[in-house]
C-alpha cells in the first residue's frame, strides 16, 4: 500500500466553516477513488490521506489531480518511525524507481527555457538617452 497526501488551499481562510469544507473536500476525494479496490480515505489532523495498492498509484493520482480544491498531491511509501524501517523503505523505493527508469541520465535531462522577449529571463538594457 502507498499513501497519497492531498494538500488543499483556501480551506484555512474559511474560519468557523472549516469543518464543513474539510468534510466536503474529503467526500469529493472519496468519490474520486470510490471504485478503486482497497482504496481508503483518512483525514488525520486536518489533512487528507488516501491509501491505495501500489499498482494503482498512477490511476489514483490521475483521479485526485482532477478534484477541485486540491493544490497538490504527493505519493509515497509508508514506514515505521525508526531509522531501520525508513532506510529499508527508501532503498526499496529507490530500486523500484531505477527499475522503472534504468537510464539515470534521462531523469536529469531537462529542456532549457526559451530566451525570448516574452520570457522573464530575457533582459534588455537600453543605452539610448
pLDDT for the residue numbered 114: 52
Question: Under 8 Å CB-to-CB from 90, ≥6 apart: which residues?
Answer: 79
pLDDT for the residue numbered 54: 87
The total of other beta-carbon atoms located within 10 Å of residue 124's CB is: 5
* All structural domains of the chain with their residue ranges: 2-101
**Tens digits of pLDDT across the chain (129 residues):** 889 999 887 766 656 777 888 888 999 999 999 999 999 999 888 789 999 998 898 999 999 999 988 889 998 888 999 999 999 999 998 898 888 777 766 655 555 555 444 544 444 444 554
pLDDT for the residue numbered 31: 96
Superfamily of domain 2-101: THUMP domain-like (3.30.70.1510)
**pTM of this prediction?**
0.69
Amino acid at each position: 500500500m502507498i499513501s497519497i497526501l492531498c494538500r488543499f488551499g483556501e480551506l484555512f481562510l474559511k474560519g468557523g466553516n472549516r469543518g464543513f469544507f474539510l468534510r466536503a473536500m474529503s467526500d469529493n476525494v472519496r468519490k474520486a477513488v470510490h471504485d478503486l479496490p482497497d482504496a481508503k480515505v483518512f483525514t488525520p489532523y486536518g489533512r487528507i490521506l488516501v491509501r491505495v495498492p501500489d499498482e494503482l498509484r498512477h490511476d489514483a493520482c490521475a483521479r485526485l489531480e482532477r478534484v477541485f480544491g486540491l493544490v497538490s498531491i504527493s505519493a509515497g511509501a509508508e514506514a515505521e518511525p525508526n531509522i531501520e524501517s525508513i532506510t529499508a523503505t527508501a532503498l526499496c523505493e529507490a530500486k523500484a524507481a531505477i527499475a522503472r527508469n534504468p537510464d539515470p541520465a534521462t531523469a536529469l535531462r531537462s529542456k532549457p527555457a526559451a530566451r525570448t522577449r516574452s520570457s522573464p529571463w530575457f533582459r534588455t538594457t537600453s543605452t539610448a538617452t
